[in-house]
Amino acid sequence: MARFGSMDRESSGVAEEESAHDASMGADEATSAFGMSAADNAQEERPSALVRFGSIGLVIVALISSGTAYYFYRQTKTLKANPQKIAQEEVAAVVAQVGRLIVLPEGETPTVATVSDAERLKGQPFFANAKNGDKVLIYTTARKAVLYSPEQDKIVEVAPLNLGGQ
């Protein structure tokens, strides 16, 4: 200490002033080694509003994801129990739509087919105005075929069904 003389007295004077200041400030406001008071440290330990809202948002997203996963799990389980359910529902929906436009044969569930390549069918008169996505309802007992366009919600063609040797 003697080597630096006046410098030591100044630095020790500053240290003495800081020590006196810290002692006079009380425990809550004493500065830490990093120059932060205890009040600042307590404030730093509390999560910010962004972190709190982020945590709440994460919980909400997790709940929504879990609910969605459960819904699809139940749908898959139901479908495995009755694989024809979707096909039956589609047939019922198409029959209901077409039944609004034309009187359909009763007591028979039609076979429903979807036109997937209208160009290949253009050579047949029944499919002359068909488009991809149109539905064909085939009533074998009533011997009738109906071509329906869901896009236009119109009956495109109705024809008697000729089943070869009958």
Q: 54-66: per-residue pLDDT in tens?
A: 889 999 999 999 9
**Binning pLDDT at 50, 70 and 90, where does residue 101 land?**
very high
Query: Contact 134/114 with Cβ under 8 angstroms?
Result: yes
Mean pLDDT on 97-114:
92
Angle in degrees, CA 31, 35, 41, rounded to 5: 70
DSSP assignments along the chain, one per residue = -TTTTHHHHHHHHHHHHHHHHHHHH-TTT-B-TTS-BHHHHHHHHSPPHHHHHHHHHHHHHHHHHHHHHHHHHHHHHHHHH-TTHHHHHHHHHHHHHHHTTSPPPSS-PPEEEE-S-HHHHTTSGGGTT--TT-EEEEETTTTEEEEEETTTTEEEEEEE---TT-
Q: Across all residues in the chain, what is the average pLDDT?
A: 79
Q: How far apart are CA 136 and CA 133, in angstroms?
A: 10
3-state SS class at 145? strand
pTM reported for the whole predicted model: 0.53
**Binning pLDDT at 50, 70 and 90, where does residue 36 land?**
low
Nearest residue to 158 via CA among 138, 140, 141: 138
